[in-house]
Chain A
Amino acid sequence: MGTACGKYAIAGVGVSRFGKVPGVSAMGFTLEASKRAVEDAGLEMRAVDGLLAVMPAAIGEQHGWAARVAAYLGLDPSFCTTLDMGGATACGAVHVAMAAIEAGYCSVVLCAFGTQTWPQGVPLQLFGSEFHLVYGDVGAICFTGFIRRRQQFEYNLPDELYGRVAVTCRAHAQRNPEAQMRKPMTLDDYFHSRWVAEPLRLFDCCPNTDGGGAIVVTSVERARDLRQPVVRIIGVGQEHRAEVIVPTGDYQELWGGTGAARRAYASAGIVAADLDCAQLYDAFTPRVVNDLVAYGIAAPEELDRAFARGEFTFGGRLPVNTAGGLLSEGHLWGFGHVREGVRQLRGECSDRQVADAKLCLVTGYGGAPHESPPTVSYSALVLGRD
């Protein structure tokens, strides 16, 4: 990967209404976000000739989802397909968009997503393998709890660290009028939140979010003629391998995504220390701990003190999750992260603007932690101001 790096740009980003929004379908959110992203780019909808739609897993089997999104948008795309990497899809779709334009399949690609967490008035369907579900081992929460337990065991990490991650994201969300969770949170509040699956408390988990997001990708040249300051995609990385808890016993790597990090930095020609801000995929607090280590930003032993000293907030070494992250802005499957990264580099974040932000890392993470074997994908973008 990487030959396309530097040649393509994110020209537009958008989100739909999001939060607890009953009664709107996944398609409804997808269309709403798509229109906003295309308008943000200063394009007419008919300029879109490539469409990548995210598989809305909550609905179950959805054949031809992307083609249906195209039909609703009135598009006639020369390239159109559904992608399925869960929370890794936002960054992953950008990778595919670059490849499709590089291959000459299309020139303006819309990456679109929407989800309704209570599709027919019932919670989203739960899938899971016969080897997990029968023990009450359900979903990403147990999976993440297993991982956090290993993180703390191997590096003697204190519970406070995870609280500080949650508190930091909440403080950032207070600077974001759109955020789903804006009530102030202290470390004490964190420790008083109820257990969900020990070692995870409620405030270790992001809220359920209904909503959608969209991204427009095109060439740097074309983007320069459009409405917004150009944000270049200068590095990309992926990895597809569950971390420490894979069932084979022969893969002992605790930190997941190191391969995605290596590939992203190599294609961008940068090191972690060059970054001005980072949007790290944080469906749960241990993911932020993981990504800070896996992406070479900090050593595990220094994390707690670094958070306590404010190194990951505004004015610190590397502000992370500047809009509040999935934990407090809301869980738009990483589309919020891409949008925030783009907006930071455009300099349009007012109260939460990172001064002179030139480089932003965005990470994604997702898959099927409740299946057998548990599998996840890691994806990353290094975005740069033109």
Chain B
Amino acid sequence: MFTLEKPLPRGTEDTAPFWEAALRGELRLQRCRACGHYRFPPAVLCPRCSSEGYEWASLSGKGRVFSWVVVHQSQYPAFNEDAPYNVAIVELDEGPRLHTQIVDCPLEELTIGMPVEVVFEKVREDVVLPKFRPRRRSA
């Protein structure tokens, strides 16, 4: 049986700023200068108005669980050491939805609509993955 290591993000010209921001503990996405639309995934054009002007805007990091699955058997063997693990879609307060993982939360407590906030998980010296945890009531 062949083995594969877990893949790590390798940014492109378009996407590297997202991962560089994560490395600094920031969640940033492109915001269109023309129409204000936050877009994801990163790209050279705004899908709403086709404008090329944008800024890498800092986001609140707050959102809600939109959907999730609990993977028991991954098609990617390297992840099976973590099974059962969750993969979730978080809808950010600013609109975009990120595929991510919920941490610090038992699997049976996950619910649609759960308020979450971003955390930054270092997986290698030069790689940080944005993940999300249940929001504290006081936050």
Enumerate chain A interface residues (CB-CB to B < 8 A). 122-123, 126, 128-139, 141-142, 145-147, 149-150, 153, 194-200, 245-250, 372-373
Contacts and interface: CB of A to CB of B under 8 A. Distances in A.
A130 B11 contact: yes
Interface residues of B, number: 42
B56 interface: no
Q: Which 8 A-B pairs have the closest CB atoms?
A: A145-B69, A136-B79, A249-B95, A198-B70, A130-B9, A146-B67, A195-B72, A372-B41
B92 interface: yes
B69 A142 contact: yes
Contacts, number: 120
A130 B123 CA distance: 14
Contacts of A145: 67, 69
Contacts of B96: 247-249
Nearest to B85: A136
Judged by DSSP, the binding face of A is loop
B95 A133 contact: no
Most chain B beta-carbon neighbours within 10 Å: one of A122, A132, A248: A248
B95 A138 contact: no
Contacts of A137: 87, 99
B32 to A, nearest CB: 12
A138 B99 contact: no
Given A246-B97, A247-B40, A200 B79 contact: no
Nearest to A132: B99
Nearest to A144: B69
Given A141-B75, A195-B70, A134 B112 contact: no
A82 to B, nearest CB: 25
A138 B89 contact: no
A136 B71 contact: yes
A182 B26 CA distance: 53
Given A122-B2, A136-B82, A247-B98, 17 more contacts: A126-B75, A130-B7, A130-B11, A130-B19, A135-B100, A135-B101, A135-B129, A136-B74, A136-B101, A141-B75, A145-B67, A195-B70, A198-B69, A199-B69, A245-B67, A247-B97, A249-B91
Contacts of B53: none
Given A129-B41, A372-B41, A200 B99 contact: no
B86 to A, nearest CB: 9
B119 to A, nearest CB: 13
A197 to B, nearest CB: 4
A150 B67 contact: yes
A197 B70 contact: yes
Interface in B29-86: 39-41, 47, 66-76, 79, 82, 84-85
Contacts of B105: none
B7 A133 contact: yes
Contact of A134 (B7, B66, B68): B7
Given A135-B129, A200-B69, A153 B112 contact: yes
Contacts of A138: 71, 74-76, 79
B8 interface: yes
B10 interface: yes
Contacts of A198: 69-70, 72, 84
Contacts of B95: 248-250
A129 B9 CA distance: 8
A373 to B, nearest CB: 6
A204 B124 CA distance: 36
Contacts of A130: 7, 9-11, 15, 19
Most chain A beta-carbon neighbours within 10 Å: one of B6, B72, B75, B87: B75
Most chain A beta-carbon neighbours within 10 Å: one of B74, B79, B131: B74
Contacts of B73: 194-197
Nearest to A151: B67
Contact of B6 (A134, A149, A195, A245): A134
A195 B107 CA distance: 14
Contacts of B82: 136
A125 to B, nearest CB: 11
A134 B75 contact: no
B99 to A, nearest CB: 5
